A = this chain, B = another copy of it.
């Protein structure tokens, strides 16, 4: 059907808007206080002059605010505004052919008294009509200017001077004729999160492993463990599910099918007679113990994240109260999770194609709300890619409408499109393939993908070198240097990272079976008692990494990563910069051998003077070096320290300081 045109006089064209995800179908993500730089291609037929503004507001606000856009080059325009509050925002663009600017531009170039006189009459009409639009003092002032411009007698140059005066131009710019303005074709949403969505160090541990040796730990034991976590400088402490654990088909140690009466079961087999997703495992203590735990965490500057796993053990109260939320087999039994011939009889997935999908969605939403009511604002969502994408989009939007400070980390180790869609659908952060990216080529490719549009506008990576489910091969064989290198990479490649401890700092590296990634004696199926004071523990190293992160704004930013050429495939080097804070990281990717190479630092980009020496200060080892020029030598012995985290100083401040470092 040929298009219908409402008003053919709307001539300005607005397209190629950034940032946006799929023409506004999904929101871009930013942080409270960020300046949003909006760009677009804006143009019109012919030679007329344009003006454009970005219109923006917190979603739901009745009125738009505006900020002017300026032309860059090749019809590209830019305007920016501050995302002042956490929550959902939206913007669009308004552009119009600006008769005043066209006229003003031409008038200065006109020649001949007759031509100028006629032009002044055209301009006078514009000023008169602006006077009618104007309010306050401008109204009378513009009316007077119009009268002056349209005077027939007198010196024409004087009138031209008035027409071209800054005062008149400013007043005319204040009262443009926007009757034929064009809006961009869509409204573009922005989700604005609090700072923790961008920058944070996460620490996962099993509270039940914090008891006295041999005993099931409580949340009060876990609260005592928090000081240890806080001392390492983490920001988020994240707990696997803390709910009652099913006993039907409970898994034993190392995921064996037969559990002994002593086996505590997997925390992900959620629900038993004592309750489901709102209840707390009796041996962890009741809700009061959880509240004490959360308060203690807050005292220590730690935020508590909970693991939300939408699945039920056969003993979950839902199984009786809401059988319609599960798939039933012809023999009346409930369909357990399976991947034939494998059976996971201890887990019932929810049946999202149930006719009762709406109450099911609502209940799952209420589970988040329950824990929000308990003060939790960070959720790590278990396997979100096995629940419908539309559910997450709906659920996260609902939650954030009331509690925009809530963060959701998607635990989806899946195919690229699946992980990306979850992020588009609203997850604040995402687990990533970092866990398996070990070589320089792999890391460079992956980080470049993450740091560029379209991905960077909606997919916030959180780098985990290990999880309770994943002990990667590199950590199984690389020893302590591998654990140090991977932590340094995770902590400095992106602003958010996390580890599963104390397995990490205690260099737990035995797999359940060769070729697999499961931990031997995994805490998922048994209690562990960790010797936290073991001398080879990486706790001090992690504390130093986190301190470096907190003290260097460059490591708290997104998208400022730049790889630096270094002539060894075993060494990776990159800068992160923010204002005067210049960080250069070099990591030896080979955990077995000392590696060395020559760096080529882009001095110009870093604002370093090629003709003067500059100081590099290794924040890990406190070593200081005086470098000169672009090419510099680096050598890293993995047994001593597989990484340099250099702070670069732009200028040696005095001769004295210069001498000091020589």
Contact = CB atoms under 8 A, between A and B. Distances in A.
B8 A357 contact: yes
A16 B415 CA distance: 15
A655 interface: no
Interface in A179-232: 180, 185
Contacts of A107: 340
Given A13-B421, A15-B421, A109-B340, A8 B390 contact: yes
A8 B361 contact: yes
Contacts of A122: 329-330
A276 to B, nearest CB: 21
A623 interface: no
Nearest to A60: B1
Nearest to A412: B45
A115 B112 CA distance: 97
A16 B394 contact: no
A80 to B, nearest CB: 21
B417 A330 contact: no
Contact of A41 (B393, B397, B417): B417
Contact of A74 (B121, B385, B415): B415
B45 A11 contact: no
Given A1-B60, A74-B415, A417-B16, A330 B391 contact: no
A107 B338 CA distance: 12
A339 B47 contact: yes
Contacts of A60: 1
A5 to B, nearest CB: 5
A389 B23 contact: no
Contact of A389 (B13, B386, B398): B13
Given A22-B15, A74-B415, A106-B340, A45 B389 contact: yes
Given A9-B354, A109-B340, 18 more contacts: A1-B59, A1-B60, A8-B358, A8-B390, A9-B357, A11-B353, A15-B417, A15-B421, A22-B23, A45-B388, A74-B416, A75-B418, A97-B353, A107-B340, A112-B341, A122-B330, A125-B330, A180-B353
Interface of A: 1-3, 5, 8-11, 13, 15-16, 22-23, 25, 41, 43-47, 59-60, 74-75, 97, 106-107, 109-112, 115, 118, 121-122, 125, 180, 185, 329-331, 338-341, 349, 352-354, 357-358, 361, 385-391, 393-394, 397-398, 401, 415-418, 421
29 contacts: A1-B59, A1-B60, A2-B398, A3-B397, A5-B390, A5-B394, A8-B358, A8-B390, A8-B391, A9-B388, A10-B390, A11-B389, A13-B421, A43-B417, A43-B421, A45-B388, A46-B386, A74-B416, A75-B415, A75-B416, A75-B417, A107-B340, A111-B340, A111-B341, A112-B341, A118-B329, A118-B330, A122-B330, A125-B330
